[in-house]
């Protein structure tokens, strides 16, 4: 390796999960990064200790040495977040989905025509997700073109890897008059948004546009077909909600006599770069279609506990090898933290496995062997998200983007405590997943660039 190719190196302890359910503790590893923000190498102590590389980087002021209470983890991926709902977080979760959308979401999202409001909220959101360790975020914006551009500009400026969709809704039966466009307008603005993002100065693949039909009830069949055609012709990312609740599923059944997946498939919206939020009620045929197309699922555990009406079949989805990552589904969650999403995904699966009714005998209560582990959840929030997006992110590995989060367990007044002599490496990683709070996240890098530094 030519030392001059190294822009900087980090020497310290790191964790990642190359395989679902397993982790690797990179103890005192040297991670080197090049000018493109890619990882040049990950060396363990015997591999670098006899080389002058550490001294070379140190002399040049290009080495960051971590303390033994600091840990590096891969940047976290949020596969499903509603940017305009940021001010809605923590409101109205007592309502069912349909009423929540009507009473809170649509009136709020309609306000984003006001570009000052959009600037104000989106700056705060992107800062908060970054400082929660979200290095890649897949955002639904609102139905408006100009405010969606504002979100894209802010992500680029702040350095977050972002996948952004201008939301499409044209069905007069389901969308209020004040928050709806014609199919022509949806298509025209989707194209215009794609052009804007692709042409943004300085955007070298950090921000990508996404074709975004909100969900089946909000779109006419004509719009779905037009968007599907555009997405297939241009190899676009697509995001939508899929079989999220009884109400949404029944809507598709009654109107089309089909499942959501069947509708997305036949309208050209189910491809390798499609991200399906939720996907609670999948049939066997749906699963085969998703596998065949290589589409991905964004599991949003906390949202599911409020809106889904049933538990997510995460265990089966992982076992069958479907692409699957995690989403916060802000504002159907109360934090943008993807570590919290990991914890919620585990808790969600545990309730499913154990069952609920105390009136039933233990053996009849739950669904056996359906739990997922903390390491599987962490894999979803890193590698799983990376696979869904078809990007080399989520691992500390040569050729992968250096997207990383520094967890400092020594900050004041927090719950993440590592006890010398009591906590082995697996305990430390589980504690990081379960008890990290935002104060512990002191530095964040995306594509090699430092985007958060709280020191």
Interaction site with ligand GUN (CB under 6 A): 82, 97, 101, 105, 214-215, 241, 244, 303, 307, 329, 332
Report the candidate in 257, 254, 274, 277 with the shortest Cα–Cα distance to residue 265.
274
Least distance from Fe ion to the Cβ atom of residue 320, Å = 23
Question: Do residues 247 and 307 make contact, with C-beta atoms less than 8 angstroms apart?
Answer: no
Please say which residue, 131 or 239, places its beta carbon nearer to Fe ion.
Answer: 239
Question: Do residues 299 and 282 make contact, with C-beta atoms less than 8 angstroms apart?
Answer: no
Least distance from ligand GUN to the Cβ atom of residue 297, Å = 14
Residues 6+ apart with CB under 8 A from 120: none
Give the largest CA-CA distance in the chain: 70
Least distance from ligand GUN to the Cβ atom of residue 214, Å = 5
Number of residues that bind Fe ion (CB under 5 A): 2
User: Which of the choices ligand GUN, Fe ion, none does residue 244 contact, using the CB cut-off of 5 to 8 A by kind?
Assistant: ligand GUN
Peptide bond into 343 cis (omega under 30): no
Q: How many CB atoms lie within 10 A of CB 384?
A: 28
Q: Which of 313, 329, 376, 430 binds Fe ion (CB under 5 A)?
A: 329
Least distance from Fe ion to the Cβ atom of residue 299, Å = 12
Euclidean distance between CA atoms 143 and 151, whole angstroms: 12
Angle at 248 between CA 283 and CA 289, to 5 degrees: 30
Least distance from ligand GUN to the Cβ atom of residue 162, Å = 18
| Stretch of residues binding Fe ion (CB under 5 A), selected from 269-277, 348-356, 420-428, 435-443 | 269-277
Please say which residue, 327 or 394, places its beta carbon nearer to Fe ion.
Answer: 327
User: Which of the choices ligand GUN, Fe ion, none does residue 214 contact, using the CB cut-off of 5 to 8 A by kind?
Assistant: ligand GUN
Please say which residue, 196 or 241, places its beta carbon nearer to ligand GUN.
Answer: 241
Residue 78 sits in the site that holds Fe ion (CB under 5 A): no
Please say which residue, 330 or 375, places its beta carbon nearer to ligand GUN.
Answer: 330
Segments of 244-318 assigned E as strands: 274-278, 296-299
Please say which residue, 236 or 277, places its beta carbon nearer to ligand GUN.
Answer: 277
Least distance from Fe ion to the Cβ atom of residue 254, Å = 22
User: Which of the choices ligand GUN, Fe ion, none does residue 105 contact, using the CB cut-off of 5 to 8 A by kind?
Assistant: ligand GUN
Question: Do residues 197 and 207 make contact, with C-beta atoms less than 8 angstroms apart?
Answer: yes
Least distance from ligand GUN to the Cβ atom of residue 80, Å = 8
Nearest residue to ligand GUN, scored by beta-carbon proximity? 332
Euclidean distance between CA atoms 447 and 428, whole angstroms: 26
Determine the 3-state secondary structure of 288 from DSSP.
Answer: helix
With residues binned 3-state (H G I as helix, E B as strand, rest as coil), the percentages for the chain, rounded to 5, are 45, 20, 35
Q: How many residues does the chain have?
A: 455
Question: Do residues 26 and 13 make contact, with C-beta atoms less than 8 angstroms apart?
Answer: yes
Question: Do residues 37 and 449 make contact, with C-beta atoms less than 8 angstroms apart?
Answer: yes
User: Which of the choices Fe ion, ligand GUN, none does residue 428 contact, using the CB cut-off of 5 to 8 A by kind?
Assistant: none
Residue 109 sits in the site that holds Fe ion (CB under 5 A): no
Helix (H) / strand (E) containing 79: strand 76-82
| Stretch of residues binding Fe ion (CB under 5 A), selected from 181-189, 198-206, 276-284, 317-325 | 276-284
Residue 313 sits in the site that holds Fe ion (CB under 5 A): no
Least distance from ligand GUN to the Cβ atom of residue 401, Å = 29
Q: Where does this chain bind Fe ion (CB under 5 A)?
A: 277, 329
């Amino acid at each position: 390796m030519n030392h001059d190719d190294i822009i900087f190196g980090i020497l310290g302890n790191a964790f990642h999960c190359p395989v679902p359910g397993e982790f690797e503790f990179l103890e005192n590893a040297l991670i080197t990064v090049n000018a493109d923000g890619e990882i040049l190498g990950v060396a363990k102590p015997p591999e670098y200790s006899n080389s002058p590389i550490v001294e070379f980087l140190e002399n040049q002021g290009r080495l960051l040495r971590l303390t033994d209470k600091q840990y590096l983890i891969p940047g976290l991926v949020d596969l499903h977040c509603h940017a305009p709902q940021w001010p809605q977080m923590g409101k109205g979760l007592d309502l069912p989905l349909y009423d929540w959308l009507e009473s809170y979401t649509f009136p709020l999202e309609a306000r984003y025509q006001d570009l000052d409001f959009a600037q104000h909220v989106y700056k705060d959101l992107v800062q908060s997700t970054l400082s929660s360790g979200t290095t890649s975020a897949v955002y639904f914006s609102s139905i408006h073109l100009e405010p969606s551009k504002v979100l894209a500009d802010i992500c680029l400026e702040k350095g977050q890897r972002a996948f952004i969709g201008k939301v499409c809704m044209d069905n007069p039966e389901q969308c209020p008059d004040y928050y709806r466009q014609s199919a022509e307008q949806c298509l025209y603005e989707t194209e215009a948004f794609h052009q804007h993002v692709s042409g943004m100065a300085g955007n070298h693949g950090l921000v990508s546009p996404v074709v975004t039909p909100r969900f089946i009830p909000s779109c006419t069949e004509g719009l779905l077909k037009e968007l599907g055609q555009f997405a297939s012709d241009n190899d676009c990312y697509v995001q939508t909600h899929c079989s999220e609740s009884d109400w949404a599923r029944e809507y598709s059944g009654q109107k089309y006599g089909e499942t959501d997946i069947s509708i997305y498939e036949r309208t050209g919206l189910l491809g390798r770069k499609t991200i399906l939020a939720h996907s609670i009620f999948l049939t066997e045929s749906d699963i085969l279609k998703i596998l065949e197309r290589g589409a991905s699922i964004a599991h949003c555990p906390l949202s599911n506990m409020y809106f889904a009406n049933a538990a997510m079949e995460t265990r089966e989805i992982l076992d069958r090898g479907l692409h699957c990552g995690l989403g916060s589904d802000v504002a159907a969650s109360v934090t943008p933290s993807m570590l919290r999403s990991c914890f919620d995904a585990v808790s969600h699966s545990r309730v499913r496995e154990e069952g609920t009714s105390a009136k039933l005998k233990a053996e009849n209560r739950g669904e056996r062997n359906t739990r997922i582990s903390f390491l599987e959840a962490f894999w979803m929030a890193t590698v799983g998200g990376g696979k869904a997006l078809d990007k080399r992110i989520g691992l500390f590995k040569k050729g992968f983007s250096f997207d990383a989060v520094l967890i400092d367990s020594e900050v004041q007044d927090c719950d993440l405590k590592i006890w010398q002599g009591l906590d082995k490496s697996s305990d430390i990683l589980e504690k990081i997943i379960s008890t990290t709070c935002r104060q512990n996240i002191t530095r964040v890098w995306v594509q090699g660039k430092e985007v958060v530094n709280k020191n």
